[in-house]
Structure 1
Amino acid sequence: MNSTIFLPDTSSTDTMGVYDRNTEGRELVQKLVDNVKDRNFLITGPTPGGLGAETAISIAAGKPAMIILVGRSQTKAQPTIDAIQAVDPNIKVKFVIAELSSLKSVRAAAHSILSNNEISKIDVIINNAAVMASPQMKTEDGLDYQFGINHLSQFVLTNTVMPKILAAGLGARIVNVTSSGHRYTGVRLHDPNFTEPGSYSEFAGYGQAKTANILYSVELNKRLASRGIHAYAPHPGSISTNLQVYLQALGDNAMQVLDAASWKVNGCSMEDTRKRDPMKTLQQGCASIIRAAIDPDLVKEEGVFISDVNLTTDPKDVRLWATDPELAEKCWRLSEELVGEKFDI
């Protein structure tokens, strides 16, 4: 489950002269190497060919102390592990098994991280794993499949390992990978599991979850910024990976579904969207994630949503339903209710 996003975004900030959609992850690591060296990174969704793997391999060039990969299968993740160690054999690479559609599995993974004395701290956690545009399904816990995997699993994992993030202290980062797809809809606070007849569609489920990623970042900043720990929600852009597996399963109907989503999110057809903002490479896509993870200058700017490697608060780019502090607090409370656990952070 790799968090690659199909819908592009356009935004502008004062730093556009420094970074843009062509900025690559490796150049950011090289530029900001002091914020990578000797630090511990946790990344979910490390399947080869996806953004999680590309991010991990790029970060490896900066000589981090440790990279913790969280995924469903070590066998599938092994090429990513091998690639990291090929870049720098001195990096400690740890793999932790977690099935994100099971809160029991997520909690077990989190507690294994907490109990591992070799992991003294987590300087950066990157919640990258995701699914997109699935048919209506439920997780093991009876939760909406996309909301459960794309948001609630991250909510539980991150909040449970928070002692290790707090141990890293000043400069620690929490990165919740989101999408321009959040512009499709906000969080259905009254019915997040789409129990109302006819309320579910592939991108309504995806949009809700991607909005929750941003709201979670907003609320984390409210709770942690005074301790020098910040959260960001980067949108990588349009990259071809296995995130499109459910779209491929739609066959001939896929373009119709994509077109309808594109009109709602971008205000134009998918064809025009592609002309306006062509597909990115993995390196271009992971750049927004890496900047969110390691650039100390971000704290001098406003907002949590990053697109084309720049922070933006423009409501055309990031909807107010994804950044409103009251909605962020409500989303936090809803998330606690759905997972059956309160987090005192």
Structure 2
Amino acid sequence: MGAYDRNTNGLDLVHKFAEQVKNRNFLITGPTPGGLGAETAISLAAESPAMLILVGRSQAKAQPTIDAIKGVNPTVKVKFVEVELSSLKSVRAAAQTILDDKEVSKIDVVINNAAVMASPQMQTEDGLDYQLGINHLSHFVLTNKILPKILAAGPGARIVSVSSSGHRYTGIRFRDPNFKEPGSYKEFASYGQAKTANILYAVELNKRLASRGVHAYAPTPGSVATNLQTYVRALGAKATELLDEAAYKVNGISIAETRARDPTKTLQQGSASLIRPAIDPDLVKEEGIFIDDANLTTDPEVIKSWATNPELAEKLWSLSEELVGEKFDV
């Protein structure tokens, strides 16, 4: 049994590992108020990071989060970088903005948090599956582009890509990642593929960067009521049917049984699984890459082998480069 559980609060971890927060620079995608990115940023502010770089769709939407950070600690420098994650052109521009910013000398921690879930079948500006494009490929490009500033932080830097138990729905559809085959698209199959990709990306980053002291993790925050459920709510009566089908594939039980077994967490409880891999210095001594209830786990019932297989991780890296049209010498 780990030292933490589903009731662990993110703020408690920030205080516990305060020295790993003070004077460090954190980049977080998806800072929308009421979401996990915002909750994580506001919690980190309590122990005086040097800088919080918030990467999101619009400063107007992020302003309540910025105001909340300043309310907690007015000394924290907050930078906002605009990005539209469904456009690789926008992602590359955001990365360049960060690279060109002389005030950002290093980035100690990246938390790739922004996501969409169970959207209808759509494509990004670049013709990619919408969920794979936003949840994985946009962060793949952003993180790889700003890697010089991550490496500048030196040993101890972290890259955290938020995943989900939804990865247990399916692995990577290497032959048809964009669901071009007629009738192949399912809302949660797309989400599951993207969440598996988050974990495999962390596996491959560790292989490429661990020798330089940079470590990557992929947590699941658990079920937290946020705007991530927007598309599910829009499904109306169809939602229960789709959620039931997904719950049976992911957990082997119905959605009602899943909710009874794992009640919805608060934002503080959900953020704990993002915050621990970002700042616990001793995490590298433990085995695993997937974090559930703020604990590392290698339990095959919790983390599927298709999400941790090193060969599949390398294969996904190559596929990702092909899909975004760019090679990364990491």
Q: TM-score range by the shorter chain?
A: over 0.9
Corresponding residue number in structure 1 for 2:299: 314
* Structure 2 counterpart of 1:240, one-letter code: A
Specify which of 30, 38, 42 is matched with residue 57 of structure 1.
42
Q: Any idea what SS the aligned residue of 1:96 has?
A: strand
* Structure 1 counterpart of 2:216, one-letter code: A
Shift of 1:62: 1.2
Shift of 1:255: 0.7
Specify which of 134, 153, 169 is matched with residue 154 of structure 2.
169
User: Which runs of no fewer than 5 residues in structure 1 stay unpaired?
Assistant: 1-13
Task: Tell me the distance in 2 between the aligned counterparts of 1:105 and 1:285.
Answer: 29
Corresponding residue number in structure 2 for 1:5: none
1:1-345 counterparts in 2 under 5 A?
14=1, 16=2, 18-345=3-330
User: Which runs of no fewer than 5 residues in structure 2 stay unpaired?
Assistant: none
Shift of 1:276: 0.8
Shift of 1:265: 0.2
TM superposition outliers: structure 1 runs of 4+ over 4 Å: none
Corresponding residue number in structure 2 for 1:4: none
Query: More relative contact order in 1 or in 2 (CA 8 Å, sep 6+)?
Result: 1
Q: Any idea what SS the aligned residue of 2:184 has?
A: coil
Shift of 1:184: 0.2
* Structure 1 counterpart of 2:103, one-letter code: E
Task: Tell me the distance in 2 between the aligned counterparts of 1:306 and 1:149.
Answer: 21
Residues 106-134 of structure 1: per-residue CA shift (max 9 Å, x gap)? 00000000000000000000000000000
* CA-based RMSD: 0.5
Task: Tell me the distance in 2 between the aligned counterparts of 1:142 and 1:238.
Answer: 30
Shift of 1:314: 1.0
Shift of 1:327: 0.1
Task: Tell me the distance in 2 between the aligned counterparts of 1:240 and 1:279.
Answer: 7
* Structure 1 counterpart of 2:63, one-letter code: Q
Q: Any idea what SS the aligned residue of 2:152 has?
A: helix
Task: Tell me the distance in 2 between the aligned counterparts of 1:270 and 1:50.
Answer: 22
Residues 279-310 of structure 1: per-residue CA shift (max 9 Å, x gap)? 10000000000001000111001111000000
* Structure 2 counterpart of 1:25, one-letter code: G
TM-score (norm 2): 0.99
Residues 212-271 of structure 1: per-residue CA shift (max 9 Å, x gap)? 000000000000001110000000000111111111111111111101100000000011
Residues 179-203 of structure 1: per-residue CA shift (max 9 Å, x gap)? 0000000011111001111111000
Q: Report the number of matched residues.
A: 330
Task: Tell me the distance in 1 between the aligned counterparts of 2:147 and 2:187.
Answer: 32
Residues 133-173 of structure 1: per-residue CA shift (max 9 Å, x gap)? 00000000000000000000000000000000000011000
Q: Any idea what SS the aligned residue of 1:265 has?
A: helix
